[in-house]
Amino acid sequence: MPDISLAALTAQLFTGLVLGMIFVLLAIGLSLIFGLMTVVNFSHGSFYMLGAYLGFALVGYTKSFWLALVVAPLLVGLLGLGVERFLIRPLYGRSIDDPLLLTFGLSAVIIEAVRLVWGKIGLSLDPPRALGGAVNLGFGMFPTYRLFVIVVTALVLVGLWLFLERTTVGLVIRGGSRDPLMVRALGVDLRRIWLLVFGIGSALAGLAGILAGPMRSVYAEMGVTTVIESFVVVVVGGMGSLPGAIVAGLLIGQVVSVTTFFAPKLAEINVFLVMALVLLLRPSGLFGEAGLME
Amino acid sequence: MNRRAFLATSAAAAATAGFPAILKAQSKDPLRIGCPLPLTGPFAALAADMQRGAVLAADELNTKGGVMGRKVEVLFRDDQLKPAVGAQRTKELIENERVQFIVGGLAAHVQMAINEQTKKSKVLFVSTSQSDEISAKPDTSPITFHEALNPTITSRVVGQWVAQNLGKKWWIIYADYAWGKQNNAVLTEVLKKNGGTLLGTTPYPLGSAEFSAHLPKIQAAKPEVLMNVAPGADNVALHKQVISYGMKKEMKIAQPLHWISYLKEGGAELYQDVYGGINWYWELQEQIPTAKKFVDASMKKYGLPPGDYGAYSYSGVLEVARGVELAKSTDADAVANALRKNPIYDHFKGKQWWRACDNKSFQDMWIGRGRGPGQTKGDWGLLDLVAKVSANEEYDRTCAEKGHA
């Protein structure tokens, strides 16, 4: 049995919070896209990976992590726009499997392209100097960079919330995910909204990638398991629900962290156990609406 | 360009150096060696190193006119670090490409799958990565050779050295698969023998990118030494996170193995003062003539020195060639017998030998400490060798312990 001091447990909860924040960033993009257009975007993990790689390249060119942190997600977002416009759009109105298969294939293409450009060997992305060390938070040393990840994610979430709740475009997005037919009847061109939302979702994945880069190692397959974990978060939170993605992301982060503390071998399984449990009790997830998948 | 055309051109390009010899070699069927490696995924850096090593060996042989006048071709396949894919690629290499030998494999569990195939097809296999089982019954066979070090040898040597020099209160974090588990078991045993205390162990799933959730518990336990048994890309991610939590200031960091490919990927700051075992390091060229020859060839062709695992595949291919020359045959049993009868060789690191009972290669190894930023030599001079441990069969389990009567 490990030492269950308050300090150790607090450190563990903080660690779980960072894991949760990355989950939230990834899940929110997936959930936005699914909620509005019922597209299960399997290339999300590759966008995440691409965020890290573009971040690496931009840090190399500009020598500025801060610039890369802004530009890399924007570039991934641009790619997302292109993907929606030229690949996904022709598939609207067809079964939910078609875009799923398409994005699954796209993800393989992106991985192969990254191998061609940057090689099969992994890269190392360093945190900026100012965020390099660790700070004493009373319960022990905690990496400065991870605190920074918490802050950035929180800011992005607040910004996204304001955008969705306080702007006209946000209103249309919310309306569009509730009742697309009605919104169309009001004379709104939903295609432009879909394009925008796919871009935002992709950019969020890219942001998660460049944020995760300095903590983890960067390699072409880094998104493969991450996309599965993100889907678990989306399913637990409820497909299409933003509050669901946030709550579930933070929940899964703590489940991983706390299980790791007591029984490391169970950490992976417990995530799926939570998913099974949630689905048994609430088949549409914690905050989900029934019927979206039909 | 398709794969065949690519192989043909690269073989031709490789051959230009020894033009007259190659003409002679081309007159007969080539000697074909299959090399399954995890060319994509978290072990890609090591696999690339191993691919270069095998190509250098084939070049060297072909410049000399091949093996028994036959040109040497090495065919690479990506096993994706999956046992089932490794078995399938090996089968294809043997049945479709008609390779006569298999040299390669990286990761203990994939190696076992390759070995099952080579045993079934009666093809001689030189395994080039760590595993305790590959040279022990029931998995091994008279035509399975093990060129690499294994977890028992590595962890006995490194564990002993770390216990005596760095501290006796340990925490072990290990990848939860064959290689990780074997090292964990041996390290635990060695620590006990040295009167040390194991404060705890952390198994984690191979291929993880996140270790942070494991770390607060380890920090709270305050070990003197954190032993990292994490291969491939995991190794870089783990060290990044261990250091970001300020743990390098609180404890010594050691690992059974250093891999120069990952030291390079992670950088000097990450691996500064991290201790680990290593089977070979390119700066040994200052002391060992065969190492110099190997490094020179690699610098000339690739502009970078070979790494520790590239050395294994280089040596593995050269050993197949030596066996064929000795046996004057490509028959698996004949080559195996020839190698056992003439067990001593030296391709890159000084004297090595095959133990007759288990076809295990015995060889020197070293303990290295990561150089800090500013102390490195060029891009690849990342290690100071702090100790040499000479080859000794006693570091491995005995023939009897491995099930060889």
CATH number reported for the structural domain that contains residue B85 in this entry: 3.40.50.2300
Contact B178, B108 (CB under 8 A): yes
Q: Summarize the confidence of residues A253-277 as an average pLDDT.
A: 89
Nearest by CB: A5 against B220, B261, B267: B220
Whether B179 and B232 share a structural domain? yes
| CATH number, position A148 | 1.10.3470
**Percent of chain B surpassing pLDDT 70:** 93
User: Which chain A residue has the Cα nearest residue B232?
Assistant: A122
Please check whether residue B264 lies inside any domain of the structure.
yes
Please give the single-letter amino acid code of residue B236: V
Q: Which of A121, A141, A226 sits opposite B45 (nearest CB)?
A: A121
Residue A290 lies inside a defined structural domain of this protein? no
Mean pLDDT over residues A34-61, rounded?
93
Q: What is the per-residue pLDDT across B285-314, written as a single tens digit (0 to 9) for each?
A: 999 999 999 999 999 999 999 999 999 999
Q: Nearest-CA distance from A287 to chain B in Å? A: 27
**In a shared domain, residues B124 and B50:** yes
Query: Is A132 contained in some domain?
Result: yes
Residue A1: pLDDT band with limits 50, 70, 90 = very low
When pLDDT is averaged across residues B235-262 and rounded to a whole number, the result is 94
Q: What is the pLDDT of residue B399?
A: 95
In a domain? residue B400: no
The answer to whether B18 faces chain A, any CB pair under 8 Å, is no
* Amino acid at site B294: F
Q: What ipTM was estimated for this complex?
A: 0.84
Helix (H, G, I), strand (E, B) or coil at B387: strand
pLDDT (tens digit per residue) in B340-362: 999 999 999 999 999 999 999 99
Residues of A in contact with B221 (CB under 8 A): 2-3
Rounded average pLDDT over B43-69: 96
Find chain A residues with C-beta within 8 A of B210's C-beta.
19, 215-216, 256
pLDDT at B183 over 70: yes
- Cα dihedral B263, B265, B268, B272 sign: negative
Grade residue B8 by pLDDT with cuts at 50, 70 and 90.
low
Type and span of the H or E element at A254: helix A242-262
Return mean pLDDT, chain B. Answer: 93
Q: What would the DSSP string read from start to end of A220-232?
A: TTHHHHHHHHHHH
Q: Are residues B135 and B34 in the same domain?
A: yes
CA distance B301 to B316: 19
| Partner-chain contact B213 A212, CB within 8 Å | no
Q: So what's the pLDDT on residue B16?
A: 47
- Residue with token string 């209103």: A171
- Least confident span in A5-14, A54-63, A270-279: A5-14
- Assess whether B261 and B316 both reside in one domain: no
In a domain, B315, yes or no: yes
CA A16 to CA B8: how far, in whole Å? Answer: 52
Mean pLDDT of chain A: 90
Contact B216, A12 (CB under 8 A): yes
Judge if B268 and B324 occupy the same domain. no
Q: Please give the Cα distance from A111 to A27 (Å, whole number).
A: 20
Q: Does residue A277 lie within any of the structural domains? A: yes
**Angle at Cα B404 formed by Cα B403 and Cα B405, nearest 5°?**
105
Higher-pLDDT residue of B55 and A12 is B55
| Strands ordered across the beta sheet of B360-362 | B72-78, B31-37, B101-104, B124-127, B144-146, B360-362, B352-355, B344-345
| Over residues A274-281, mean pLDDT | 93
- pLDDT at residue B18 in the model: 46
Nearest to B362 by CA among B378, B351, B347, B371: B351
Report the alpha-carbon distance of residue B58 to residue B136 in Å, rounded: 29
Residue A233 lies in a domain: yes
Give me the domain span that covers residue B68. 3-149+286-362
Q: Is the pLDDT of residue A170 over 80?
A: yes
- The pLDDT confidence band at residue B13, using thresholds 50, 70 and 90, is low
Cβ contacts from A onto B, under 8 A: 126
* Residues B10, B62 within the same domain: yes
How does DSSP classify residue A41?
-
pLDDT at A175 over 70: yes
The answer to whether residue B265 is domain-embedded is: yes
Q: How many CB atoms lie within 10 A of CB A137?
A: 13
Rounded-to-integer distance, Cα A23 and Cα A96, Å: 24
Out of A11, A15, A217, the one facing B233 most closely (by C-beta) is A217
Q: Which residues of A touch B215 (CB under 8 A)?
A: 15
Which secondary-structure segment (H or E) carries B344? strand B344-345
pLDDT band with cut points at 50, 70 and 90 for residue B196:
very high
Q: How confident is the model at residue B155 (pLDDT cuts 50, 70, 90)?
A: very high
Q: Is the pLDDT of residue B225 over 90?
A: yes
Asked if residues A285 and A239 have their Cβ atoms less than 8 Å apart, the reply is yes
Q: Are B217 and A261 inside 8 Å of each other by CB?
A: yes
**Which structure tokens are listed for A228?**
């599965």
Asked if B212 has any chain A CB less than 8 Å from its own CB, the reply is: yes
Q: Is the pLDDT of residue B3 over 60?
A: no
Question: Using one digit for the tens of pLDDT, what is the confidence trace for A120-165?
Answer: 888 888 889 889 888 888 888 899 999 999 999 999 999 999 999 9
Total structural domains within chain A: 1
Residue B375 domain-assigned (yes or no): yes
Is B50's Cβ below 8 Å from some Cβ in A? no
| Amino acid identity, position A139 | F
Q: Same domain, yes or no, for B376 and B328?
A: no
Residue B252 sits in the same domain as residue B176: yes
Instruction: Establish if B184 touches chain A: CB-CB under 8 angstroms.
Output: no
The better pLDDT of the pair B391, B9 is held by B391
Indicate if B33 and B117 belong to the same structural domain.
Answer: yes
Q: Which of B199, B212, B243 to mutate to test the interface with A (most CBs of A within 10 A)?
A: B212
Task: Catalogue the E-assigned strands of B205-309.
Answer: 225-229, 252-257, 274-278
Domain of residue A191 covers 6-281
Q: Is B405 inside any structural domain?
A: no
- Highest mean pLDDT, choosing among A57-61, B22-26, B40-44: A57-61
The verdict on B160 and B12 lying in the same domain is no
Q: In this complex, is the C-beta atom of B40 within 8 Å of any C-beta atom belonging to chain A?
A: yes
Q: What is the mean pLDDT of residues A223-227?
A: 89
Check CB contact of B82 with chain A, cutoff 8 Å.
Answer: no
Residue of A nearest to B38 (CA): A120
- Please give the full DSSP string across B107-171, using - where no structure is assigned: SHHHHHHHHHHHHHHT-EEEE-S--SGGGSTTT--TTEEE-S--HHHHHHHHHHHHHHHT-SEEE
List beta partners, residue B24: none
Percentage of chain B exceeding pLDDT 90: 87
Mean pLDDT of B322-335: 96
Q: Percent of chain A beyond pLDDT 90?
A: 63
In a domain, B98, yes or no: yes
B402 assigned to some structural domain: no
* Number of domain units in chain B: 2
pTM, entire model: 0.87
Residue B11 confidence (pLDDT) above 60:
no
DSSP at B212:
G
B204 and B351 assigned to the same domain: no
- What is the structure's pLDDT at A294? 47
Same domain for B307 and B387? Answer: no
Q: What is the mean pLDDT of residues A29-48?
A: 92
Cα distances (Å, whole numbers) of residue A212 to A51, A64, A202, B125, B238: 9, 17, 15, 40, 13
A261 vs B contacts (CB less than 8 Å): 213, 216-217
pLDDT bin (cut points 50, 70, 90) of residue B365 is very high
